[in-house]
Amino acid sequence: MMTEARLDVDLNGVRFPNPVLAASGCFGSGREMAGVIDLAGLGGIVTKSVTWAPTRGLSTPRMAETPSGMLNAIGLQNPGVEEFRAKDGPFIESLGVPVVVSVAGTSVEEYSQVTLRVRDLPGVVAIEANISCPNVERRNQVFACHADQAAEVIGAMTRLTTVPVFAKLTADVTNIVGVAQACVRAGAHGLSLINTLLGMAIDVETFRPRLGAVTGGLSGPAIRPVAVRCVYQVAQALPETPIIGIGGVTRAEDAVELMVAGAWAVQVGTANFFNPGAVAEVAAGIGEFLTRKGLAGPTDLRGKVQLRRNVPEPAHRRG
């Protein structure tokens, strides 16, 4: 008789009922989705990134479809941390699903101040630092593109809270392992890999960029191989560090691929826009996959990629 697999995961002390979370910016705080789907099947929810002050976001159009994916340039639209606390705080507390609050900012000070305002919210099991933001104090360079700037933000946040901090990295770098190692040295409990990739699309009839902001973040199945590569490279270098794999997860098999590459859990972003039930369906599908393979739980998949012999050089050192 086949025993059913267990789905719960423990990311070195951060526990989720299953390994599939809704990704930041693609599910609100869950409040908006509560009437649409049953939230009980979710492993967790990562909130839309919250900043210190209300942010109106960028000009329209803010989204454009691309082959196997989409571009977005929302511009971190959010009500600011005080309204977030007032409106989403009570919902998060009553939800019964673990919530990770995504924090964003344009200076180390802003990340610190927002961290101070979300660290005590009941129901919050972790903070995700969205460090794919421009650092206004350093010529608008993106924090996550520079190991030292990424480490500065993560160090400031982790000094202020005992809530575990996950650093969310971008793949728009030549050496993601170096940035990941710097974040872990600075106190990151884990890593979320990856944010959108910077892209651009042009309407050839009008010669106009398809996004109001000209460039934007590419997401969806088109970026999944990049996410798998990043998770693999970072997991090889940091096997003890919890990694949440993100990028193009639409079906259970996509999540399994990221876990086999080294992810401890995954997030689903873009897929929610065309299937609001995607997160729960992917979680249920992982359960069926594990049971079919006779595996006990998600840890039996983690990092189990079978490399061919004579791989010329450790892939995580390339680039």
Residue 282: name the closest of 269, 263, 301 by CA: 269
Q: Choosing from 133, 145, 183, 230, which is the catalytic residue?
A: 133
As measured in angstroms, the least distance from the Cβ of 72 to ligand FMN is: 4
Q: Which is nearer to ligand FMN, 74 or 160 (CB)?
A: 74
Burial (CB < 10 A; 0-12, 13-18, 19+), residue 96, is exposed
Q: Which is nearer to ligand FMN, 63 or 160 (CB)?
A: 63
As measured in angstroms, the least distance from the Cβ of 144 to ligand FMN is: 10
Residue nearest to ligand FMN (CB): 25
Q: Which is nearer to ligand FMN, 74 or 305 (CB)?
A: 74
By DSSP bridging, strand 124-130 and strand 69-72 are: unpaired
Please report, as ranges, the residues that interact with ligand FMN according to CB under 6 A: 23-26, 48-49, 72, 74, 76, 102, 130, 168, 195-196, 219-220, 223, 246-249, 268-271
Separation of CA 145 from chain center: 16
Q: Which is nearer to ligand FMN, 100 or 108 (CB)?
A: 100
As measured in angstroms, the least distance from the Cβ of 71 to ligand FMN is: 9
Q: Which is nearer to ligand FMN, 275 or 291 (CB)?
A: 275
As measured in angstroms, the least distance from the Cβ of 143 to ligand FMN is: 12
By DSSP bridging, strand 44-46 and strand 99-103 are: parallel
The answer to whether 226 and 261 are in contact (CB under 8 A) is no
Burial (CB < 10 A; 0-12, 13-18, 19+), residue 62, is middle
How many angstroms separate the CA atoms of 48 and 27, rounded?
7
* CA distances, 164 to each of 199, 242, 264 (Å): 31, 11, 15
Catalytic residue check, 133: yes
As measured in angstroms, the least distance from the Cβ of 23 to ligand FMN is: 3
**Active site members:** 133
